[in-house]
Each structure stands twice: as structure tokens, then as C-alpha cells.
Structure 1
């Protein structure tokens, strides 16, 4: 029964995600609205930003972290080479965004063994972390 529910949930998630990205035309911003979702955006400043081994370790850890089952969408990125303006911060090393269906899923993520292991194994790499959580 549990496998059937898991399968149905995965199919429903796939259908939902597919509807976010139409294949026949570009979706307008007004057509893609995230209702009830919690967006968890984390910015990491590495202690040694030029150390490629440390950056690679953090990336490997983040790629493990996105395996937490309550995460619906994720993104791992680096500062874009966009225009320097007072409102743009390019100072971070790595960004990580995870989207959850709701607050309960994000709460479960916080205590998930994968998340706890990520923090334990990688916290020595960064000197600053800022988290922005938002939802409608």
C-alpha cells in the first residue's frame, strides 16, 4: 500500500511539474504561479572561496541533500555575471534553492538525516550562511 501511494504521489508530482513547463510554447510568468509552496533559498560564503576542492565538496553535499524526499524542485548555482548594481549581491560562493509543497514538508526536511549529515560534514567549509524562506 505504501509503495502504491508513493507511486501515485510521484506521478502526481510529475504531472504537476510537466504542467509548469509546457512543451508547445513558452509559459508567461502569470501562467506559472506557485501557490502554497515554501521556497527555501540558502546562500553560502566559503571560508576559502578560491579553494576548488572545498567548492566541489560543498557541491557534492548539496547534490546529496536534494535527495530529501520532501523537496519538489531544487537549484544549485553560482553568482551570475550580471550587472553590478547596489541591489545585486555577487559576494556569495554558492546558492541552493529547494521548494516544498508546504511548511510541514520543510519542517521535515530540517530534521531529515540527509540534511543533518550535510550540515555535519560540510559546516567547516563556510564562514557565513544566509537563508531566505518565503511562501504566499
Structure 2
């Protein structure tokens, strides 16, 4: 097992994010570092949260966003049934996370025709959208 971890550490050193995927369960968080990646996390509050057809339409449209070539990793999620604590917000309907190799790739995504079409055709579904973008910073 130690030889495998050593091999994985050496194999991923200096590799771009796209080459890391899929990440194996054998690698630990300390062994896999995302350098210069931009994480784009979007939270949607549906106008009609109980409308399953609207939720399905949004999820299908979000799946179409994965066709944008600069997206390296994506995840569509729903509020988890985690402990109800003051710091946990379960009020959103759907979340979407996309990972990019860098800021330029995320900038390209913002004006990509697939993304623009997504907004145009689906914005009537949500009452609120909150976006959190993050990147690593040298301290």
C-alpha cells in the first residue's frame, strides 16, 4: 500500500487537474493538491421548490453545461440531510459545482454559448442564485 501511495504522489506531481480525473480512493486529500484551479459553486433557489418538473428541468439543463470544454469536473447536488446547525444552509433547491484549470477557463465558460443558453432558457425557474468562486492563494 505504501508503494502505491508513493507512486501516486510521484505520478500526480505537476500534473494538470484534467489529468487527475478520476481520482482514486487510494489517494488522500494531502496527496492530491489542486493548483491554480478555480471552483465555481452555484446555489439555486427554485420559485416553486416543490415542483419536481421544474427541478428535473434545471438538473437536465445543468447536465448540458458539462459540454462546455473548459469544465474539468462538475457536481450537481441537493441539500444533504446533515445535522441542522447554525452554519449549515439547507434552504437552497439545487447546487452546481464546476471546476476549471484556471481563471481564464472560467471566464471563457461565462460567455460560452452553452452557458448563455442555459441562463436564457432556465432563469424563469429560480427566484435566487448565489455564486461562490474560489481559488488557492499563496500566503
Which TM-score tier does this pair reach, normalised by the shorter chain?
Answer: 0.7 to 0.9
Corresponding residue for 1:68? 68
Aligned residues: 121
Q: Deviations over 1:31-56 (max 9, x none)?
A: 11111000000000000000011001
Q: Secondary structure at the match of 2:79?
A: coil
Gaps of 5+ in 1: 1-11
Counterpart Cα distance in 2 of 1:91 and 1:46: 10
Q: Secondary structure at the match of 1:87?
A: coil
Contact 2:42 2:95 survives alignment (8 Å): yes
Q: Secondary structure at the match of 2:30?
A: helix
TM-score (norm 2): 0.83
Please report how far the alpha carbon of residue 28 of structure 1 lies from its aligned counterpart in structure 2 after TM superposition: 1.5
Counterpart Cα distance in 2 of 1:135 and 1:84: 28
Counterpart Cα distance in 1 of 2:36 and 2:19: 17
Please report how far the alpha carbon of residue 14 of structure 1 lies from its aligned counterpart in structure 2 after TM superposition: 5.7
Corresponding residue for 1:99? 99
Counterpart Cα distance in 1 of 2:97 and 2:127: 19
Matched, 1:90 2:94: no
Give the superposed CA RMSD: 1.4
TM-score (norm 1): 0.85
Counterpart Cα distance in 2 of 1:112 and 1:89: 30
Contact 2:100 2:106 survives alignment (8 Å): yes
Please report how far the alpha carbon of residue 15 of structure 1 lies from its aligned counterpart in structure 2 after TM superposition: 3.7
Counterpart Cα distance in 2 of 1:93 and 1:101: 27
Q: Secondary structure at the match of 2:99?
A: strand
